[in-house]
Amino acid sequence: MRVRFAPSPTGYLHIGGLRTALYNFLLARRHGGTFVLRIEDTDRSRFVEDAEQDILEMLRWAGITYDEGPITGGDFGPYRQSERSARYAEVAAQLVKSGNAYVAFDDDDALEAMRSRHRSENNPNPRYDHTTRGEMQNSLTLSADAVDQLLSEGVPHVIRLNVRPGETVVFSDAVRGEVRFESATIDDQVLIKSDGLPTYHLANIVDDHDMGITHVIRGEEWLPSTPKHVLLYQAMGWDVPTMAHLPLILSPTGGKLSKRNAEKQGIPVSVSQYVEAGYEPEALVNFLALLGWNPGDEREVFSLADLTTAFSLERVGQSGVQFDLQKLNWFNEQWLRSKASSQLATRLLPQARAAFGCEDEAYLEQAIDMMKERMTMAADVLDASYLFKAPESYDEKAVSKRWKANSSEVLSAFAVVLSELDAWSEQGLEVSLKAFIDAQGVGMGALMFPLRMALSGVGGGPSLYALMALIGREETLSRIKRAVLTIAT
Ligand code: GLU
């Protein structure tokens, strides 16, 4: 098995692309196959300078490794199509020679004139195909001498696929089963553009053949191109690889998740945006794995290693799958909880330092430990500024509702207990707080609320015992003192 991920560097890697890469990777790893990365950079007009670098970096971030590729090398290189032009020209010439392709000289004006001649309600986008090619300037309508003459004069030309009507193009798709297209509906696709470079269709099949690709796994948006590819394979006498078209990723409101409607709904489309937003790579991988594939049971949390043993094309669905950011966030929570706080602390220390001047990694680790169950994103811990510094204000709404006439008094009395407490630990604090409440004969809330307000300034948060243990006696007492002075007056 040899599979490939063949992105075009026309933009940064998007989530659909990462899913395609992931499924290819998983299949290769599952079956001991080879995973090839090929950069399809023949469209110079849409070329984006740093797109290839982004693709490589994002794959690395996600933990998706490949066996052959532009930098890695391999026996089938080069792995950038811009470095393989000669081979495409050679195949195009063969196709012309065998009558499966032809040379066409029509300029933009001639093409537009043809379209406006044929445009009608029933035919809004007239094609260059068996119905129109006879009216055009090409090697099927011109004499051989005329063609040679035009070529020798250097008249710009393209090479087109000669699609014969009346055939049914059939191929079997590992996800969709048998797929059929009538050749009469397929246009005479340009294979070589007037700049001499191949189009995607030609370069793609030449490389898939030359690189020994056995399985083509890609997004459903490529399904309509596949009959052209099948015709090209047949014209060259090459085997058609196994095809597998992955279901579309749909927007939460329905319809394809296009860049535009994703942005409207606040859904990032580039993988780098997820990296910047601080998602765990395991979470995005886990989420994307289940966006189109299911394990056939209730399991949801899968590491990359788990996936390589569980994944199969048979369990890839046909129907579009809805993108659900909430679900991704849920995966992020699961993965965060499985990570060691020390590891997260090392990662977050630079941010904690910038925000709070926090230099103490052990302190940060402890803060993360107590917040982990409440975090969706790792950096959420930094949003709880009271973990690092005294609150500067107190939630007014909560105070006016729940700060009672005796709150200051209860709090001050508890401060005395705290100042005399022997064991300043989570457990010791819990025992003494409970004993205090019993002795005072007040309800839990009568102390807990003002205490939480004094320590954090907000109405909800982690265990107060853990919080006091973290910030220490001195800081706890100073925050209580400040709250009593500020809130009571
Ligand atoms: N270059 C195409 C892309 O950008 C590759 C499609 C395919 O896998 O054949 O997705």
Query: Quick check: CB of 137 below 6 Å from ligand 1?
Result: no
Q: Does 25 fall in a domain?
A: yes
Query: Quick check: CB of 9 below 6 Å from ligand 1?
Result: no
Task: Ligand 1 pocket test: pick from 39, 218, 243 the residue with the most ligand atoms within 8 Å of its Cβ.
Answer: 218
pTM: 0.93
Query: Quick check: CB of 80 below 6 Å from ligand 1?
Result: no
Please tell me the residue having the least CA distance from ligand 1 atom 2: 7
Residue showing tokens 């105070």: 399
398 CA distance to ligand 1 centroid (A)?
55
Same domain, 39 and 58: yes
Same domain, 239 and 269: no
End residue of a domain, out of 385, 409, 441: 385
The total domain count for the chain is 5
CB contact at 8 A, 351 and 279 = no
Query: Of ligand 1's atoms, which has the minimum distance to the CA of residue 217?
Result: 8
Same domain, 432 and 373: no
Same domain, 333 and 351: no
Same domain, 364 and 434: no
Same domain, 169 and 227: no
Query: Of ligand 1's atoms, which has the minimum distance to the CA of residue 216?
Result: 8
Dist. CA 419–CA 436, nearest whole Å: 13
Beta bridge partners of 316: 293
Q: Does 80 fall in a domain?
A: no
Chunked into runs of 10 residues, the chain (489 residues) has average pLDDT values of 97 97 98 98 92 98 98 97 96 98 98 97 96 98 97 97 97 97 97 96 98 98 97 98 97 85 90 97 98 96 97 96 96 98 97 97 97 96 97 95 93 96 94 96 94 96 96 98 87
Same domain, 371 and 284: no
DSSP assignment letter at 163:
P
Dist. CA 478–CA 462, nearest whole Å: 20
Per DSSP bridges, beta strands 158-161 and 190-192 are antiparallel
Q: Does 79 fall in a domain?
A: no
**Can you list the alpha helix ranges (DSSP code H) found in 225-357?**
226-236, 259-264, 271-276, 281-289, 304-310, 325-337, 341-356
- Dihedral sign, Cα of residue 383, residue 341, residue 361, residue 353: negative
For residue 23, the enclosing domain spans 2-70+203-249
Question: What confidence score (pLDDT) does residue 489 get?
Answer: 57
Same domain, 11 and 159: no
Query: Of ligand 1's atoms, which has the minimum distance to the CA of residue 204?
Result: 9
Cα within 13 Å of Cα(312), Cβ side = 6
Angle at 414 between CA 409 and CA 415, to 5 degrees: 95
20 CA distance to ligand 1 centroid (A)?
10
Q: Does 475 fall in a domain?
A: yes
Same domain, 242 and 304: no
Query: Quick check: CB of 62 below 6 Å from ligand 1?
Result: no
Exposed e or buried b per residue across 228-265, where buried means at least 16 C-beta atoms within 10 angstroms of its C-beta: bbbbbbebbeeebbbbbbbbbbbbeeeeebeeebbeee
Query: Quick check: CB of 220 below 6 Å from ligand 1?
Result: no
Same domain, 92 and 142: yes
Residue showing tokens 């099927």: 140
Please tell me the residue having the least CA distance from ligand 1 atom 3: 7
Query: Quick check: CB of 81 below 6 Å from ligand 1?
Result: no
CB contact at 8 A, 181 and 227 = yes
> CB count, 10 Å around CB of 226?
20
**Bond before 7 cis per omega within 30 degrees:** no
